[in-house]
Amino acid sequence: MNKSELIDAIADAADISKASAGRALDGMIGAITDAMKKGDQVSLIGFGTFSVKERAARTGRNPLTGEAIQIKASKIPSFKAGKALKDAVN
What would the pLDDT profile of 59-85 be if each residue is shown by its tens digit?
A: 999 999 999 999 999 999 999 999 999
Domain ranges of the chain: 1-40, 41-90
Burial of 31-44, coded b for 16+ CB within 10 Å and e otherwise, reads ebeeebeeeeebee
Domain 41-90 in CATH 3.50.50.60: no
What would the pLDDT profile of 26-54 be if each residue is shown by its tens digit?
A: 999 999 999 999 999 999 999 999 999 99
pTM exceeding 0.85? no
